Structures are given as C-alpha cells and as structure tokens.
C-alpha cells in the first residue's frame, strides 16, 4: 500500500519532479567535478606549482649562516662547509621520498672577470639518477626549474667528453661581458665554450653555470657540494604544522612526521644527512600553500553553492506540492494516518528524486572532471570509488533538508479547513 502511494505521488506533476531532479543533477555534477579534481589533481596542481623552483635548501651545518653578498660566497673554505656528494642518494631514502620530485647539488666559487668577482656554480643540469629503491628518474636544475630558459642550448650532462669546458652565462652578465652563444669565456685561465645564455628572472642572470665535476676539479673539492636545492610536493601548512615538534606528544609527533608538511620533510632530510641543515625556501613554500588553499577553498565554495541552490529549488517545489496536496493529507489524517507515515511518504518521494538526480549528476560530473583533467593537466583522472557514493548520499541529504520545512508545515495544518477546500 505504501509503495503504491509513493508511486502515485511520483506520477503527479511530472514537470515539477523533472525540474527537481535536474536541479539536484546539476548540483551533483558540479560537486562531483570539483571534488574529483580537488582529491585527484591535488598532487598535479602541486607539480604545476613546482615551476616556482625549489622549496627546500640543504646546506652544511657550519654554513647555516652563509656570508653571501650579491650571489658571491665570502665564507672561508673548510671541509666542514661541504656535503659529500655520495650522500645525495639518501635524499630518496626518507619516509616521503616519493614526494621529492627533483633535486640539484651545487658547488659554488668565485672567479675574477673584468676586474670583478663573479659567482660560478657547478651543478647537475639534467642527468639520469637511480635511487636506493632502484627507482630511475631524471633530476637536475632543468627539472627543478622548468621556467628557466636558455638562448642557445643547454649543456649536456654528464659530458660525453670529460675534458669538455662548457658554461651557461646569465643573460645580464653576458650583456656586460659581451658574450654570445657559441663564444668563449676564460675561467681559471681555461677557455670555456658558452653554450647558452640563461634567463631566470632572478640572481642567476648574473652568474655562470657549468658542470658540477668541472667546479670540483678546479677548486680541488672532488666529491663535495656546498648546497642542495630540493623540490618536494608538500601539504599546505596549518596551525598543527606550525607547532614545535619538541613540544608534541608522541601521537602528535607521529601524525606530524607522517604528513607531507614542508617542515616534516625537511626534518627527515636532516635525519638522513646529519651533517646538513634543511630549511624551507619560505617565499616559494608559502606561495604554494596559499595558492593550494585558495584553489581548495574555491572548489569547496562552488560545490557548497551548487548544493544550497539545489536545496532552495527543492524547498520551492516541495512547498508548492504541499499546498496542492493539503486536501489529500487531510483525508489521510482523517482516516487515521499518523504524522510519521505522512512524513515518510513525502521523504521517500523526495529521497527518490534526490537519488535519481544524484546518480545522473555523478555521471555528468565524472565526464566533466575527466575533461578538466585532460585539458589542464594532460593526464587521465584517477577517481576515488568512494566519491560517487558520497555525492549521491549528499544529494539525498540535501533533498531531504530542502524539503524539511515544507513537510513540517504539511503536518501542522488543521484537518477541517483543508477538507472544506476539497469541497
């Protein structure tokens, strides 16, 4: 009997029912697309933000307060101010090793050119690297700083000829020295071929870059680096991340350690490299966190606005339905129907509409989310199996919430006046 009443109720006013289902479907589609992108593409957004450059700097403990002016390092040279190159594999031995997307070691020195001191950086440009876990990937300044541009060509790394003398010259420095790609530049009384001019928009445009092994050779520091820049995928800092780990309870410390905060990744790097200090490059890290928070907030607000709009439309449609069916509800009450039964009748009707609209919206939302993923990130969407069920459940809940006040009014009016309306 109850099922027949529900069926008859659904068959009435089909246009209104379809408009309600369409509203729920539209809201569910938007929510599905936004949440799918938010959950699955969060790491990809972080990877796009990696174009800002490194967000962690690793330096020797004795060089934690470097004396560097205008890109020139004036700190006295000592063995303690270097990190052994053989320790680099430990960067990929941390708990969050998969979040370290790229790194580049540097060995810096200065040379006299045209009567002034110029910083020369030895580094990895782009080389194949095998991690302790046997993972093979490419890393170096080209992967760490994808926005860097070279007029000419990049230096091949490692060199096909170990005796090759090649350099990249910052664009501003090249202008002062009047050098062009293909020209030569004298460093350590040796001619270096200028392979390209480097444009970064930063201090690097006043510096010279060459292979790490070349600077190690000319400075007499084989197997040593003075700085490592690291790019890591991180979780935006929150109030918990800013707590001092020394004051955390064991449970809080485990939670902090197992969360990809910039501070926890830095701490784990220091565990693997006890001779070094890892410090966030705050301008980059803060910008990433701010952008990620804004993106997440925007997506959540859009999803919430869509659901609220659907609830308001359901409220309007349900209020009209209740007014039209006052006589019917009065008859049911007159023959002994309890308020719970009448409320269940309306709730099931609205719940079915929410279920149909949610299911339809989830399908449309998945298509939209996959389109966004392909267009923006050029990769397929990896959808969580829980998301469709959560969105459909939310659609039903929003439908019931939107109909709550009209249903309450349907149960509170007097029987006699409503029956007179029927006459």
Taking only the tens of pLDDT, the chain with its 423 residues reads 556 555 555 556 667 778 778 888 888 888 888 777 776 655 555 555 555 568 889 999 876 555 555 555 555 444 557 999 999 988 888 888 888 888 999 999 999 987 789 999 999 999 888 877 787 888 999 988 888 999 999 998 876 676 789 999 999 999 999 999 999 999 998 999 999 999 988 889 999 999 999 999 999 999 999 999 998 888 777 788 888 888 899 999 999 999 888 889 999 999 999 999 998 875 555 555 566 667 777 777 877 787 777 777 777 777 776 666 666 666 666 666 566 667 777 777 778 888 888 888 888 888 888 887 777 666 666 677 788 888 888 888 888 787 777 767 666 655 555 445 544
- Please tell me whether residue 201 adopts helix, strand or coil conformation: coil
**Of residues 181, 183, 168, 78, the one with CA closest to residue 123:** 168
Residue pair 23/313 in contact (Cβ under 8 Å)? The answer is yes
Distances, alpha carbon 369 to alpha carbons 130, 309, 379, in Å: 35, 21, 11
φ/ψ region of 115 (left if φ > 0, alpha if ψ in -120 to 50, else beta) reads: left
Max Cα–Cα distance, the chain, nearest Å: 110
Residue pair 145/265 in contact (Cβ under 8 Å)? The answer is no
Task: Give every CB contact of residue 5 below 8 A, 6+ residues apart in sequence.
Answer: 345
- Please tell me whether residue 132 adopts helix, strand or coil conformation: coil
- pLDDT (0 to 100) of residue 323: 65
- pLDDT (0 to 100) of residue 78: 47
Rounded to whole angstroms, the Cα distance separating 140 from 146 reads 10
- pLDDT (0 to 100) of residue 284: 52
Rounded to whole angstroms, the Cα distance separating 369 from 29 reads 9
Q: At what angle do helices 42-49 and 339-377 cross, to 10 degrees?
A: 30
**Of residues 144, 127, 143, the one with CA closest to residue 85:** 127
Each domain of the chain, given as residue ranges in start order, spans 2-44+289-422, 55-280
Q: Which long-range contacts (CB under 8 A, 24 or more apart) does 76-82 make?
A: 81/226, 82/107, 82/221, 82/224, 82/225, 82/226
**Of residues 344, 108, 329, the one with CA closest to residue 219:** 108
Rounded to whole angstroms, the Cα distance separating 257 from 254 reads 5
The two structure tokens encoding residue 265: 């990744």
Residue tagged 């070279």 (tokens): 150
Rounded to whole angstroms, the Cα distance separating 58 from 288 reads 19
128 beta partners: 138
CA-only gyration radius of the chain, Å: 32
């Amino acid at each position: 009997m109850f099922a027949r009443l529900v069926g008859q109720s659904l068959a009435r006013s089909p246009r209104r029912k379809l408009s309600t289902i369409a509203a729920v479907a539209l809201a569910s589609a938007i929510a599905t697309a936004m949440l799918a992108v938010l959950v699955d593409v969060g790491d990809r957004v972080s990877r796009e933000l990696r174009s800002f450059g490194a967000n962690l700097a690793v330096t020797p403990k004795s060089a934690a307060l470097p004396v560097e002016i205008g890109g020139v390092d004036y700190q006295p040279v000592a063995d303690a101010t270097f990190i052994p190159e053989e320790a680099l594999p430990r960067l990929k031995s941390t708990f969050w090793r998969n979040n370290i997307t790229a790194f580049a070691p540097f060995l810096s020195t200065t040379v006299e050119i045209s009567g002034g001191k110029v910083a020369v950086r030895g580094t990895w440009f782009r080389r194949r690297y095998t991690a302790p876990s046997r993972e093979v990937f490419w890393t170096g300044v080209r992967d760490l700083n994808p926005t860097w541009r070279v007029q000419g060509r990049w230096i091949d790394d490692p060199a096909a000829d170990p005796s090759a003398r090649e350099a990249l010259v910052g664009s501003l420095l090249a202008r002062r020295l009047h050098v062009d790609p293909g020209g030569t530049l004298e460093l350590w009384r040796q001619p270096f071929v200028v392979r390209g001019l480097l444009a970064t928009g930063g201090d690097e445009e006043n510096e010279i870059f060459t292979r790490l092994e070349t600077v190690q050779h000319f400075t007499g520091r084989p197997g040593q680096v003075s700085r490592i820049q690291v790019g890591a995928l991180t979780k935006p800092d929150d109030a918990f991340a800013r707590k001092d780990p020394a004051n955390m309870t064991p449970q809080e410390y485990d939670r902090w350690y197992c969360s990809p905060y910039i501070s926890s990744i830095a701490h784990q790097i220091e565990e693997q490299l006890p001779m070094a200090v890892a410090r966030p490059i705050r301008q980059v890290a803060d910008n990433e966190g701010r952008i990620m928070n804004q993106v997440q907030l925007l997506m959540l607000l859009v999803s919430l606005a869509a659901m609220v709009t659907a609830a308001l439309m359901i409220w309007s449609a349900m209020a009209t339905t209740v007014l039209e069916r006052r006589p019917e509800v009065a008859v049911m009450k007159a023959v002994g129907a309890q308020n719970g039964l009448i409320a269940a009748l309306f709730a099931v009707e609205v719940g079915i509409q929410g279920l149909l609209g949610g299911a339809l919206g989830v399908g449309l939302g998945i298509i939209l989310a996959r389109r966004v993923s392909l267009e923006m990130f050029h990769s397929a969407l990896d959808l969580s199996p829980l998301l469709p069920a959560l969105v459909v459940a939310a659609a039903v809940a929003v439908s019931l919430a939107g109909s709550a006040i009209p249903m309450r009014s349907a149960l509170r009016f007097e029987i006699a006046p409503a029956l007179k309306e029927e006459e």
